[in-house]
């Protein structure tokens, strides 16, 4: 559901998948920590309107925790592979 929403949903749709007090950090992009759905939606706004494809690359779960690596391809050119925990 998350990957489909990243590819086809709005920034607010993606943020709605997070807990109200969730945090999102891009350790490569300066280390800013975005706290709460509104701040998280702001991170995803930059991708709105772009042609986006997502692909799950690896998933691991243990107990009540999970981590996964996926690919985001934007506009057929730029590809990033974030890790979500």
Q: Which residues are catalytic?
A: 2, 26
Confirm if 14 and 1 have CB atoms less than 8 A apart: no
Q: DSSP letter string over 4-36?
A: HHHHHS-HHHHHTTS-TT-EEE-TTTT--EEES
């Amino acid at each position: 559901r998350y990957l489909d929403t990243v590819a086809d949903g709005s920034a607010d749709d993606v943020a709605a998948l997070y807990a109200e007090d969730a945090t999102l950090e891009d350790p490569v992009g300066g280390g800013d920590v975005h706290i709460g759905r509104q701040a998280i939606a702001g991170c995803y706004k930059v991708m709105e309107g772009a042609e986006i494809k997502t692909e799950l690359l690896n998933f691991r779960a243990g107990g009540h925790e999970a981590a996964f690596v996926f690919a985001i391809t934007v506009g057929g050119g730029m590809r990033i592979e974030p890790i979500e925990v």
